[in-house]
Amino acid sequence: MGAEKKSGWRRLGWGLLAVAAGIGLLLASACTGFGELRRGQAEQQRVEASPQWRDGQFNNPQPMWSDMKDALLRAFESTPDGAPQSAVPVLASRGEALAALPASGLRVTWFGHSSTLLEIDGTRVLLDPIWSERASPVGWIGPKRWFAPPIALDKLPPIDVVLVSHDHYDHLDAGTVRALQVRGARFVVPLGIGGHLRGWGVPADRIVELDWWQSTQVGTLQVTSTPARHASGRVNPQSDRTLWTGFALVGAAHRVYYSGDTGLFEEMNDIGKRLGPFDLTLIESGQYDADWPDWHLGPEQAVLAHQRVQGKLMMPVHWGLFALAHHGWTEPVERVLAAAACRGVSVLTPRPGQSVEPGRDPVPARWWPQQAWRSAAERPVVATKNGNGADRVQLPGCVASAS
């Protein structure tokens, strides 16, 4: 196909995308899945009092950079092995193994992407749950999951708290929130997200909203909102009017860090100093691109983030369920393992639905297929220091080759 013809297809594709986006915005007011940001005066005053709030929106500690021209040119490229070609070997469950709390005091069950059940020192925490078929405000379009949830929501054990890192559709799912609120779930979320939850029926007294470095107590567990470098919004004109966050969970005997969605930033070192070291880190490792390196970590920076927050055992999340970026579906975990081997980092890779007590259970075996993947040398993802594409973070050396 000639260059002019390719260019014509790209223009057509972007024209169709613009039409679809316009229709989506028109539907926003009629679709409750988009969320609701109406706030009372007291709520808005608290939002605007945040150190992160400037010029009518929340802001990052460092600006984010993207190569929009290159990203747009590549938007409609196909990705080899971008989705599984055969069934993912999920460990389906009816909840029997989760009925009793873990003997060790720490157990993690990954459901794909970032959805995770964490049981820590007697408290059950559900992270960024999405049980819907699509990461979307509607059921007929949007990224579709590759496999059904390994366990039905009503088969989960009683959940003490649900943590939501930000309001993008692959982390804050309206259908899942409604189902959990019927079960009496309590939510801890970053500033501004309470409006979405109240609009979906969650009583205000079951919602705690936190700014960065603020904490709340859930039983004996301390939950602290930690800084992140990302963005928010639900495909409507109100982007970045809710905050994004990570979480540090400090129990009587264990500490766990969940990064949420984030790019690399210096303040991660402060998280480790103030709240670490962590027995387990859940680090966003997938859905990245070299054209927007500040929005997500990418595998090599995920390992570096784990080290910055003083983690002992790393579990890569934000992969294995949806295709949201131009990389093979197994590439995130392969590159994490390559970088971890270079830097002496221990990595936990359970298959979806598998429960693991770190240090007590056998190390999970490899469960994803062998297929080609691009190494960090072929397509590096390197964050900017302060939003300037010419001024990048210096990453450690030792880069493994693709298989």
State the residue for tokens 């999405």.
130
Q: How confident is the model at residue 236 (pLDDT cuts 50, 70, 90)?
A: low
Write b or e for each residue in 227-248: b if 16 or more Cβ atoms lie within 10 A of its Cβ, otherwise e: bbbbbbbbbbebebbbbbbbbb
Q: Determine which of 22-26, 40-44, 103-107, 134-138 has the lowest per-residue pLDDT on average.
A: 22-26
Q: What pLDDT score does 240 carry? A: 94
Q: How confident is the model at residue 11 (pLDDT cuts 50, 70, 90)?
A: very low
pLDDT for residue 102 is more than 90 = yes
pLDDT for residue 108 is more than 90 = yes
pLDDT for residue 28 is more than 60 = no
Q: What pLDDT score does 238 carry? A: 67
Q: What pLDDT score does 27 carry? A: 42
CA distances from 246 to 10, 44, 130, 231, 283 (A): 36, 22, 17, 12, 10
Q: How confident is the model at residue 285 (pLDDT cuts 50, 70, 90)?
A: very high
Q: What pLDDT score does 139 carry? A: 87
Q: What pLDDT score does 40 carry? A: 85
Q: How confident is the model at residue 24 (pLDDT cuts 50, 70, 90)?
A: very low
Q: What pLDDT score does 401 carry? A: 44
pLDDT for residue 380 is more than 50 = yes
How does pLDDT run across 135-182, given as a tens digit for each residue?
998 889 999 999 999 999 999 999 999 999 999 999 999 999 999 999
pLDDT for residue 30 is more than 70 = no
How does pLDDT run across 116-139, given as a tens digit for each residue?
999 999 999 999 999 999 999 888
Reduce the DSSP state of residue 54 to 3 states and report it: strand
Which pTM was predicted?
Answer: 0.91
Instruction: Work out the mean pLDDT of the chain and round it to a whole number.
Output: 90
Mean pLDDT across 21-28: 42
Mean pLDDT across 248-269: 98
The distance of Cα 103 from the centroid of its chain, to the nearest Å, equals 28
State the residue for tokens 């490229």.
77
Q: How far apart are CA 344 and CA 359, in angstroms?
A: 17
Q: What pLDDT score does 397 carry? A: 80
Mean pLDDT across 373-387: 95
Mean pLDDT across 281-289: 98
Q: Are 300 and 374 in contact (CB under 8 A)?
A: no
Q: How confident is the model at residue 32 (pLDDT cuts 50, 70, 90)?
A: low
Q: How far apart are CA 78 and CA 71, in angstroms?
A: 13
